[in-house]
Structure 1
Amino acid sequence: MADRTTHPGPSVDARHLDALADDEVVRFTADLIRHDTTNRGGGDGVERPAAEYVAAALAEVGIEPVIVEKAPGRTNVVARVAGTDPGADALLVHGHLDVVPADATEWSVPPFAGEIVDDVVWGRGAVDMKGSDAMALTVVRAWARAGVRPRRDIVLAFTADEEDTGEFGAGHLVRNRPELFEGCTEAVGESGAYTFHAAGGRRFYPVAAAERGTSWLTLTARGRAGHGSKINHANAVTRLSAAVNRIGEHAWPVRLTATVRAALTELAAAHGLPLPDLDATDQVELARGVDALLDALGPAAGLVAGTVRDSANPTMLNAGYKVNVIPGSATAHVDGRVLPGGDRDFAATLDRLTGPDVDWEYLHHEIPLEAPLDAPTYAVLADALRHFDPDAHVVPYCMTGGTDAKQFSRLGLTAYGFMPLRLPEGFDYQAMFHGVDERVPVAALRFGIRVLDRALLAI
């Protein structure tokens, strides 16, 4: 293993992040938004226009891009910036180019116009995550112009299909082009290090060190088909509805991972609140203590409330074809999210909740992740934030959902979510994800390139 001590590097004054970089990060964000890379799932998406834009921007400053496609239009871009220490492990910086759909009739501005209004960039992908792609692109271009080199090789990956299964994106790269990530041991990607405003003027910056696993499920109920006017005790719709209701109403037990435990501890300390017994073996006592702390934390509870338990939310139903016909089968889909170490208990719970008349299977199953909080890399990321915001409270964070880090973990990489943004009070970052009127302040992007620059040069 290569030396992992912290090296401050040449980022102390960051003079290479000049007015041109400030302009580029805004322009790149807006331009990438203007490339409609909507991912509708099931293979329906085209990232190539944005990928070609990124590849051209890299090539312009002498960084050679590699274009990889599993299918026409589902385009990934990978590039490597050589470090000064050939014996050091490489670092992956990844971001996705696809976005979720946007209904233009619901938006205040056209979602793919990339408009800049009152120093705010509007459009689908501004936060998730073309603004972050633009930050990474801006930083490495500034390095190239100024002759700055990181200590470690930096591998850049701009991926397709993250908003679905990753089959055309990171999953394809990991399975078929692993040599592009040779030497990488750690990864930095979405979506942490944004400002979370809490009570008392506190500014928290959650750095993601864990992700819940993805367990998308298909439920199938079978019964006896028949006329809608007849009594039918083997009605597939009734059986499915009962199972879906049990799943939706289920109270999942509290289960604390190392990351969530650390987050609760630091949030309680920052608010001057007593810490409950997080080692309580009695589930009722543990749940009572954790829920009481979450209530006391006020807005800051939003950083952890979704990750103290597993979850399973019914999302889709499909049954029947005519109002007077009882169908022989009915299906539903459930979005399950599982904390590290909980797959077995989750499956056992689903067996019990679905019962004997409903079968279930994984539609898509991805592993949970957890990275060490005592690693030098986590310390560097936290220090970079505090350097540019001395009043920052940096806390570890477990994502409720998942990212491409799950795919890259199959190459043995340890992943952190770190795409820094300093956001004004009242700006709801989480609501921007997949939401209407997604947008990002220009000042947040310019703050982000400075923090990201310092961190990548110091890791």
Structure 2
Amino acid sequence: MTAGREGCPGPTDRPGRSDRHRPLEPTRAQVGDSPAAIAQRLVRFVTTNPPGAEAECIAWIRDLLAEAGWETRLLGDPARPNLVARLPGRGLEPPLLLHAHVDVVPVAGQPWTRAPFAGEIVDGELWGRGAVDMKGHLAMMLSALLRMSDHAVTPPGDIILAVVSDEETGSDAGARLLVREHPHLFAGVRYALGEDGGAELGLGGHARLHPVVVAEKRTCWVRVTFRAAGGHASRVAGPGSSVQQLNRFLTAVSSGGLGVEMTPVTHRMLDELARALPPEVGARIAAFHADPADPDTLAGLPEVTVRYLRSVVQHTVSVTVLRGGTGTNVHPAEITVEVDGRVLPGAYSTEDFLTQLRARTGPEADLELFVEGEIMPAPRLDIGYDRLVATLRAHDPAGTPVPVLTTASTDARLFSQLGIQCFGWLPLPSGGDGGYRDRLHQADERISIAALDFGAECFYTLLSGRSDPHAH
């Protein structure tokens, strides 16, 4: 990996410099500004990560935008480049950043009904890996931007589009490289829109909800090692054995969390969610808000809702990998477990999290933090958020936008290090749930053509400056 190397010698990268990156078909003639056609073409690029191999896909997007008159440049490893493109605005507002990744997770071992990279459209749905996460989402952005260029619509402020590699395996070759080595490209940006991080609420059957991700939990992966004297397994293990230490730890974290910690964004989310839902369902959310430590308050709600809500009111810990033992007849002298920790946003330090985890492992265990996510600043729910809400209400008056905290992490954690308020915004016609988010990383990932059209229209309204946050 040659992180930091630019893929072109000059400040812009125009089509025609390298025929090996050009598509066989005329770019704009092939897709126009149709979100479905753009998404279909993107899905057909095999960008499974690892290894990634995003270059051909990103070069195609580069050509698409350059033919529309955008300034473009490629940055980073030529085999895994990142595209930064800019559409000049009228100078009335600060630049707005759109960011998206083109790498996708593997399909190996998944029982796909249709070829995952064929991009078939069947019964009004586009099938394929990345249809939701997040090539379909990127297609919505691109469709709106190309439509603006075609109709000479100049946005209030510059629009910067960052299309990156490597999001699915840590972002080292992608967003992290851009933030670390090219921060000047994002100077003056106040707001950014990216993927929504999978904020599945499971309440779409009760109300038309439009979740807008305003904050993310932070990754803290920890390796916990328990050690003790081994011995012959024909005799009962002692109380301090590594297995006994492990048993105590697993019992201590069996609930999945480290205890209730309410944050401002969670308070607002639960309050708005309770008011948006029918009274009988909203009352349960309100009861949970009042006493999140009482599991009975969520009785009767969908399991996906219960799991989500329990995850956003505490630091969570999931034991995912276990290693140990040398033989069936030998008590293990060492057992190691890997814990996927997710820390609430705000002023929670890594040391605070490890201290709470240490209280569950016991003093004998060794704790090694081997992945630590970036701390995101507290969200600003100001005019940037209001415009997203106004756009959603304009296109779906019966829907209710709701600010949410996502349990996952995206490239927003990196762009936020530049002082940018990042939102996860995937406008969907069904109001957010709609069966799309539970297809992320799963077999038979797909998205409806109606959803792509709806999202593209929402992006066009927002980016062209036509959303009025004071209209509703």
Over 3 Å counting, the alpha-carbon distance change for 1:202 and 1:73 in structure 2 is: same
Work out the CA distance in 2 between the residues paired with 1:258 and 1:307: 11
Query: What's the counterpart of residue 225 of structure 2?
Result: 220
Aligned residues of 1:81 and 1:153 also touching (Cα < 8 A)? yes
Counterpart in the other structure of 1:4: none
Distance 1:268 1:414 in 2: 25
Q: 1:320 to 1:133 in 2, by over 3 A?
A: same
- The answer as to whether partners of 2:399 and 2:431 remain within 8 angstroms in 1 is no
Alignment-derived partner of residue 389 in structure 1? 396
Deviates more, 1:338-347 or 1:160-169: 338-347
| Residue range with higher mean Cα deviation, 172-181 or 359-368 | 359-368
In the alignment, what sits opposite 1:30? 40
Q: Which residue of 2 aligns with 1:60?
A: 67
Output the CA distance in 2 between the equivalents of 1:96 and 1:105. 22
CA–CA separation in structure 2 for the residues paired with 1:176 and 1:265: 40
Q: What's the CA shift for 1:246?
A: 2.7
In the TM superposition, what are the counterparts of 1:308-457 in structure 2 within 5 Å?
308-341=313-346, 342-343=348-349, 344-366=351-373, 367-373=375-381, 375-423=382-430, 427-457=434-464
Q: Using the TM superposition, give the Cα deviation of residue 457 of structure 1 relative to its aligned residue in structure 2, in angstroms.
A: 2.4
Secondary structure, counterpart of 1:39 in structure 2 = coil
Cα-to-partner distance string for 1:433-454 (whole Å, 9 max, x where unaligned): 1122111000000000110111
Amino acid at match of 1:457: S
Worse-matched range after superposition: 402-411 or 323-332: 323-332
Aligned partner of 2:101 in structure 1 is 96
Residue by residue over 1:98-145, the C-alpha shift from the partner in whole angstroms, topping out at 9 and shown as x without a partner, is 111113651111222211111101111111111011111111111111
Q: Deviations over 1:233-257 (max 9, x none)?
A: 4644553454344333455333222
The reply to whether residue 121 of structure 1 matches residue 101 of structure 2 is no
Task: Give the structure 2 partner of residue 168 of structure 1.
Answer: 173
- Determine the C-alpha separation between the residues in 1 that align with 2:215 and 2:101: 18
Counterpart Cα distance in 1 of 2:296 and 2:32: 43
Counterparts in 2 of 1:425 and 1:368: CA distance versus 1, 3 Å: closer
| Cross-structure match for 1:261 | 267
User: Matches of 1:138 and 1:291 in 2, distance apart?
Assistant: 46
Q: 1:456 to 1:401 in 2, by over 3 A?
A: same
Greater mean deviation of Cα atoms: 150-159 or 358-367: 358-367
Q: Percent of aligned pairs with the same residue?
A: 36
CA–CA separation in structure 2 for the residues paired with 1:37 and 1:327: 41
Render the CA deviation track for 1:14-46: whole Å, top value 9, x for unaligned: xxxxx9988621122122112121224xxx432
> Which among 122, 130, 134 is matched to residue 139 of structure 2?
134
Separation in 1, partners of 2:304, 2:109: 32
Please say if 1:243 is aligned against 2:233. Answer: no
Q: Determine helix, strand or coil for the equivalent of 2:400.
A: strand
Offset, 1:427: 3.7
Alpha-carbon distance, 1:359 to partner? 1.3
Q: By how many angstroms is 1:210 displaced?
A: 1.1
CA distance in 1, matches of 2:250, 2:45: 39
**CA distance 1:322–1:397, change in 2 (3 Å):** same
Q: Name the stretch that deviates more: 427-436 or 223-232.
A: 223-232
- Deviation of 1:409 (Å): 0.9
Distance 1:437 1:217 in 2: 32
> Is this contact kept in 1: 2:292–2:313, CA < 8 A?
no
* Deviation of the 1:228 alpha carbon: 4.9
Task: Sort the Cα spacing of 1:105 and 1:279 in 2 relative to 1 into closer, same or farther, 3 A.
Answer: closer
Whole-angstrom CA distance in 2 between matches of 1:427 and 1:144: 31
Residue 192 of structure 1 contacts residue 419 of structure 1 at CA under 8 Å; is this kept in 2? Answer: no
When residues 66 and 226 of structure 1 are mapped into structure 2, their CA distance, relative to the original with a 3 A threshold, is: farther
1:252 partner amino acid? L
Q: Give the aligned partner of residue 154 of structure 1.
A: 159
After TM superposition, give the deviation of residue 350 of structure 1 in Å.
0.5
Q: Deviations over 1:149-205 (max 9, x none)?
A: 111111111111211221111111111111221221211111179997847752010
Q: CA deviation at 1:298?
A: 5.9
8 Å contact kept, 1:248–1:312? no
CA RMSD in angstroms, aligned pairs only:
3.0
Is structure 2 residue 213 aligned with structure 1 residue 208? yes
* Pairwise CA distance, 1:93: 0.5
Structure 2 stretches lacking a partner, 5+ long: 1-28, 468-472
> Which whole-Å CA distance do the structure 2 matches of 1:196 and 1:349 have between them?
27
Residues 263 and 304 of structure 1 are in contact (CA less than 8 Å); yes or no, is this contact kept in structure 2?
no
Within 2, Cα distance between the matches of 1:231 and 1:78?
63
User: What is the letter of the counterpart of residue 47 of structure 2?
Assistant: T
How big is the shift at 1:216? 1.4
User: What SS does the corresponding residue of 1:394 show, helix, strand or coil?
Assistant: strand
The aligned amino acid for 2:183 is: P
State the number of aligned residues.
Answer: 429
Counterparts of 1:393 and 1:424 in 2: how far apart (Å)?
8
Q: Is the 8 A contact 1:192 1:418 kept in 2?
A: no
